[in-house]
Amino acid sequence: MIFSALHTVAQENTWWKETVFYQIYMPSYADSQGDGYGDFNGITGKLDYLKELGITGIWLTPFLRSPKVDNGYDVADYYAVDPTYGTLDDFKNFLHEAHKRDIKVIMDMVVNHTSTECEWFKEAQKSKDNPYRDYYIWQDKPNNWESFFGGTAWQLDETTNQYYYHKFDVTMADLNWSNPKVVAEVEKVLRFWLSLGVDGFRFDVINFLTTNGILQDNPIKNGSQEHLYDINQPGVKAALKQLKAVVNSYPNRFTVGEIGSDKVEVLKQYQSPEMMDVVFNFNFGSIAEFSAQKIFSELHSMEQQMESYPTLFFGSHDMPRMMNRLANGNPDKAMALAALMLTARGVPFVYYGEEIGMHNILANSYDEIVDIQGKTHYKLAIAEEKTENEALTIANSHNRDKSRSPMQWNGSASAGFTTGRPWISVNKGYSSNNVALQEQDKNSMLARYKALIALRNSQPVLQYGSYKNLDFKDDRITFTRSYNGRDITVIINFGNDYKVTLPAKSKILSGSINLKPNSFILYTTGE
Ligand SMILES: [Ca+2]
Ligand SMILES: [Ca+2]
């Protein structure tokens, strides 16, 4: 009895290897009641669109109650839906409707820090002997640790005359993960949402958990700080194992970790069924400008070094859109990149709007900047006596608004995103680029995305196949994936015209043998 029960629990949970995820940036997807912000009822209304697109998993950016200084990555109440996005019942309805369509839902879980408006912090602030005091990190004197958003990471709290630590904004106080009460508190939060039926979590900046009591200065090397004591601290892995044990106590759940590091050898340390099922590698996903060689070498390095699946993505809410950053506005190039993301070995994450080739927006003045990171860099530049124009340029290079403009549904006012005033600028190109237009065009990006995703969803080789080869030559990325005696070969051509010689008995699944620049072919051999 005991053994069979254990066997059931230990059965490998693999749905995520079959899943095409779609990241929804909560405030920007669909507004149901005209306040200018996306909400759950809006998203629920788009589930048929996502089902049609072939999406089988949704990652929602934070939707818990928050002052939204950092768009919800600053949680004030871990048990409440932010009223901007609706009610808990709206969320439950959304989840039910998604599950009805066989779409899994994972939520962003931000536990490195809370908003300073969280009750835990408000209590902690009251006195040095408050029971919540040690939920956070306090010092009589700041050390040299820097905020990720710029400037010092310490803020004086005048009530108790001590400084609290904030790796990010001053309104986002870091939780003290060396306190077992914090761990227990977060476990309770996870259970609450898992019990409601969420299929897993995307854990935010998970290697920033402050688990080490030693708060000494970071060493300075060549003028910049080495993050020896504030990131990847001893204890992070143990904390992740505790969190994952809670997740694994519910059947068929999944975790993906955001790891703040550009080293695959650091990333892979956090990837295991006992910690994070998969992790994001930003060297691959947020590569600053197009290079077929660089994309290939990151893919190759993940394949060589990581034991489990890598994640495959070229866009998120923290980086400029793939269409501008990598594809230079060329839809064919964006499609070739999409083909890589949807046919290589790994878990693909499509960022909302990529499927219609959405472009960046850019702020023309300080007033147009919404993102806290953009604003902070502007103010720091002004403080350093830069001109307003210089400060704007600096701010725009850090400004994450670029990829956060409302989803372009149709040609009506505000792209059909809202009947009211959108919280952030709509991309001006929406009247010529939107879902409604692309749905009428069988050669549109949307149609091509649907076809690619349908292929991935129907071919176990593309979900489970290992690589027989993974090669790069003349700006062509080529691989053959193999599973249960069936092979699928993918050639993605970022170079010049190239004619493919098909092996005997092969069948083309997509594309043609005459590969133009920025095109691809998929063909199968075997049964
Ligand atoms: Ca709304
Ligand atoms: Ca921390």
Q: Give the Å distance between the CA of 110 and the centre of ligand 2.
A: 11
- Assigned domain for 234 exists: yes
Same domain, 474 and 377: no
The enclosing domain of 347 has a CATH number of 3.20.20.80
Residues 412 and 432: their CA atoms lie apart, in Å, by 11
- Assigned domain for 171 exists: no
Residues 298 and 300: their CA atoms lie apart, in Å, by 5
Q: Give the Å distance between the CA of 164 and the centre of ligand 2.
A: 11
State which residues have CB under 5 angstroms from ligand 1, the bound ion.
31, 35, 37, 39
Confidence of residue 213 (pLDDT cuts 50, 70, 90): confident
- Assigned domain for 115 exists: no
- Residue written as tokens 């009223």? 83
Domain count for the chain: 4
Confidence of residue 36 (pLDDT cuts 50, 70, 90): very high
Q: Give the Å distance between the CA of 175 and the centre of ligand 2.
A: 6
- Assigned domain for 174 exists: no
Other C-beta atoms lying within 10 Å of the C-beta of residue 501: 6
Q: Give the Å distance between the CA of 34 and the centre of ligand 1.
A: 6
Structure tokens at 36: 């200018």
Ligand nearest to the CA of 27: 1
pLDDT in tens, 106-128: 999 999 999 999 999 999 999 99
Q: Give the Å distance between the CA of 156 and the centre of ligand 2.
A: 17
Same domain, 221 and 206: yes
Same domain, 184 and 98: yes
pLDDT given at position 262: 81
pLDDT in tens, 229-276: 999 998 999 999 999 999 999 999 999 999 988 889 999 999 999 999
Same domain, 216 and 147: no
* Whole-number percent of the chain with pLDDT over 70: 97
Q: Residue 258 pairs with which residues in a beta bridge?
A: 280
Same domain, 451 and 318: yes
pLDDT given at position 149: 83
Ligand nearest to the CA of 30: 1
Structure tokens at 466: 């290992």
- Residue written as tokens 């009805």? 100
Question: 315 near 321, Cβ under 8 Å?
Answer: yes
Three-state SS letters, 248-282: HCCCCCEEEEECCCCCHHHHHHHECCCCECEEECH
Q: What is the mean pLDDT of residues 497-503?
A: 97
Q: Give the Å distance between the CA of 146 and the centre of ligand 1.
A: 36
Same domain, 197 and 49: yes
Ligand nearest to the CA of 111: 2
| H/E element, 298 | helix 292-305
Q: Give the Å distance between the CA of 389 and the centre of ligand 1.
A: 34
User: Residues near 386 by Cβ (< 8 Å), separated by ≥ 6?
Assistant: 394
- Burial call 356-386: b when 16+ CB within 10 Å, e when fewer: bbbbbbebeeeebbbbbbbbbbbebbbeeeb
- Single out the residue of 184, 142, 186, 197 nearest to residue 167, CA to CA: 142
Ligand nearest to the CA of 418: 1
Query: Would you give the distance in Å from CA 409 to the centre of its chain?
Result: 22
Residues 103 and 95: their CA atoms lie apart, in Å, by 9
Same domain, 378 and 451: no
* Domain with 138 in it: 121-165
Residues 333 and 517: their CA atoms lie apart, in Å, by 8
Q: Give the Å distance between the CA of 234 and the centre of ligand 2.
A: 12
Same domain, 80 and 140: no
Residues 448 and 454: their CA atoms lie apart, in Å, by 10
pLDDT given at position 13: 82
pLDDT given at position 527: 58
Ligand nearest to the CA of 110: 2
Catalytic pick from 174, 258, 354, 371? 258
Same domain, 283 and 316: yes
- 258 catalytic? Reply is yes
The enclosing domain of 488 has a CATH number of 2.60.40.1180
Q: Give the Å distance between the CA of 63 and the centre of ligand 2.
A: 21
Residues 278 and 273: their CA atoms lie apart, in Å, by 9
Q: Give the Å distance between the CA of 511 and the centre of ligand 1.
A: 41
pLDDT given at position 290: 97
Q: What is the mean pLDDT of residues 485-489?
A: 95
- Asked whether residue 131 carries a pLDDT value surpassing 60, the answer given is yes
**Amino acid identity of 217?**
D
Residue 527 half-sphere exposure toward CB, CA atoms < 13 A: 4
**Does 12 or 38 have the greater pLDDT score?**
38
- Assigned domain for 509 exists: yes
- Residue written as tokens 């369509």? 101
- Asked whether residue 137 carries a pLDDT value surpassing 80, the answer given is yes
Torsion of CA 512, 517, 520, 526, to 10 degrees: 60
Q: Give the Å distance between the CA of 398 and the centre of ligand 1.
A: 27
**Does 389 or 7 have the greater pLDDT score?**
389
pLDDT given at position 8: 43
**Does 2 or 131 have the greater pLDDT score?**
131
- Assigned domain for 175 exists: no
pLDDT in tens, 342-351: 999 999 999 9
Q: What's the maximum distance between 2 C-alpha atoms anywhere in the chain?
A: 78
- Assigned domain for 321 exists: yes
Ligand nearest to the CA of 38: 1
- Residue written as tokens 């608004």? 401
Structure tokens at 64: 């818990």
- Assigned domain for 172 exists: no
What secondary structure letter does DSSP report for 361?
-
Structure tokens at 114: 């809370």
3-state secondary structure of 523: strand
CA–CA distance from 440 to each of 434, 437, 444, 445 (Å)? 11, 5, 8, 11
- Asked whether residue 4 carries a pLDDT value surpassing 50, the answer given is no
**Which class for 242: exposed (0-12), middle (13-18), buried (19 or more C-beta within 10 A)?**
middle
Structure tokens at 131: 């029971």
pLDDT given at position 12: 66
Other C-beta atoms lying within 10 Å of the C-beta of residue 129: 7
Q: Residue 493 pairs with which residues in a beta bridge?
A: 476, 519
Q: Residue 221 pairs with which residues in a beta bridge?
A: 224
Domain boundary among 380, 398, 416: 398
> What is the secondary structure of 163-230 as a DSSP string?
EEE-SS-TTEEEBBTTSHHHHHHHHHHHHHHHHHT--EEEETTGGG-B--S--PPPPEETTEE--TTT
Catalytic pick from 39, 70, 169, 204? 204
Mean pLDDT of the chain: 94
Ligand nearest to the CA of 147: 2
**Does 352 or 526 have the greater pLDDT score?**
352
What secondary structure letter does DSSP report for 289?
S
The enclosing domain of 147 has a CATH number of 3.90.400.10
pLDDT in tens, 420-450: 999 999 999 999 999 999 999 999 999 999 9
Residues 183 and 135: their CA atoms lie apart, in Å, by 10
Confidence of residue 223 (pLDDT cuts 50, 70, 90): confident
Same domain, 249 and 209: yes
Q: Give the Å distance between the CA of 166 and the centre of ligand 2.
A: 8
Same domain, 354 and 375: no
Helix 180-196 and helix 236-248, axial crossing angle in degrees, nearest 10: 30
User: Residues near 96 by Cβ (< 8 Å), separated by ≥ 6?
Assistant: none
Q: Residue 348 pairs with which residues in a beta bridge?
A: 312
Q: Give the Å distance between the CA of 38 and the centre of ligand 2.
A: 30
- Single out the residue of 382, 374, 420, 421 nearest to residue 401, CA to CA: 374
CA–CA distance from 499 to each of 130, 452, 516, 525 (Å)? 72, 21, 9, 18
Ligand nearest to the CA of 209: 2
Write phi, then psi, for 163 (nearest 5 degrees).
-100, 140
Same domain, 312 and 381: no
Q: Give the Å distance between the CA of 85 and the centre of ligand 1.
A: 6
Confidence of residue 187 (pLDDT cuts 50, 70, 90): very high
pLDDT in tens, 284-305: 998 999 999 999 999 999 999 9
**Amino acid identity of 413?**
A
Residues 262 and 251: their CA atoms lie apart, in Å, by 32
